[in-house]
Amino acid sequence: MTPVIHAAGTPTTPLPRFIGSEIYRHSSYGAWHPLRVPRVSTVMDLTRAMGWLPAAQFITSPRAKPAALMGFHTPAYIAALQATEAAQAVTDDVRDRHGLGTPSNPVFAQMYRRPATSAGASLLAGELLARGGVIYAPAGGTHHGMPDRANGFCYLNDPVLGIQSLRRSGAARIAYVDIDAHHPDGVVHAFADDPDTLLVSVHEQNRWPRTGALTDRGAGQVFNLPVPAGLHDDDMALIRDRVILPLVAGFRPDAIVLQCGADAVTEDPQSRLALSNNAHWAIVAALRPLALRYLVLGGGGYNPWSVGRLWAGVWATLVGAEVPDVLPQAAQDVLAALHWAGPQRVHLPQPHWITTLRDAPRHGPIDPDVRQRADALAARIKAWV
């Protein structure tokens, strides 16, 4: 591969690449479900409106074949997921065994094709990163999927499949970092006993799935930091510098997978955390130099304006684009066209959700519980390294 200059100016790796698909524009979990809102299509439209996503850096995601999905999922589950999509109905036995047709994981028109496309992106990313680089797949990050059942809005577990793909492509040691508001129980299920996979999760305490205790270790490299409601940017900066970066640097990974769920920001309805999107972008930037291969995924995020703005800023961070104080009209038009309605109300955007990409920073004194838990993990890291 001929070296080229990437956005940060290092003549060693290709330009960052964005994997997306039009399937996300035309599918929804249903009018009442938190994932009724547009997300990936917003990021695609917004980054193009900003001039940040030329055609040469965009890859249309393939749909993963059933055999590829069986690297983690059972044949019976994949068959049930395909059959349920085809019938648009689910039997009691399938619902009980596989978690399909529940309020969290409902029956909808693209319930197999949509997650298989997200999984296809992560599988392809692992192959494309064989010789290094940066890939962004915002439709990925479905970290709750289990081998034999759907779980927590996730029908498949693309982070697990992406890690497996990276390993097949030569990455022996992989660091998985998850900053979604929810603990990645499906990824931990897959790799808790694997000494060559580092698992780091920062998630809200006492929030579903209520796993990921500070004391969990597994037989491998598992580091959890449950955080209290109200976590703000300064708390997360402490966690980043005291826990996340020392862990990843000490592990010396061949690849990093970052699950960058957008549900930990103040405006999101599915958590009680209080981050600005600056906190996410800072972690995206800080992890990049620590491995040759870097795969950044999406995850949670249920306010269409906050998730679209945050994930567009992730791409800006990866390509080295400057985020303006006021968005150009074409980008404002993308955000102004969003609609967020539920069974009981229509949500109206705040003015700055239309005109800006960057949130105002959310500062505050360090929470004593956050400091205590970060110190406890820092002491463990020091002994581990």
Tell me, rounded to whole angstroms, the distance of Cα 257 from its chain centroid. Answer: 9
Residue 182 is a catalytic residue? no
Rounded CA-CA distance 242/377 in Å is: 8
Q: Where are the beta strands (DSSP E) in 34-165?
A: 58-60, 133-137
Tell me, rounded to whole angstroms, the distance of Cα 384 from its chain centroid. Answer: 27
Rounded CA-CA distance 28/34 in Å is: 10
Rounded CA-CA distance 177/383 in Å is: 20
Q: How many residues are recorded in the chain?
A: 385
Say if residue 145 is exposed, middle or buried (CB neighbours under 10 Å; 0-12, 13-18, 19+): buried
DSSP string, 240-291: IIIIIHHHHHHH--SEEEEE--STTBTT-TT----B-HHHHHHHHHHHGGG-
CB atoms within 10 A of CB 299: 28
Edge-to-edge strand list for the sheet holding 133-137: 58-60, 17-20, 133-137, 293-297, 255-259, 174-178, 197-204, 221-227
Tell me, rounded to whole angstroms, the distance of Cα 241 from its chain centroid. Answer: 20
- Helix pair angle (304-319, 329-336), 10° resolution: 140
SS3 228: coil
Rounded CA-CA distance 248/179 in Å is: 14
Tell me, rounded to whole angstroms, the distance of Cα 198 from its chain centroid. Answer: 16
Catalytic residue among 73, 143, 144, 189: 144
Which residues carry out catalysis? 144
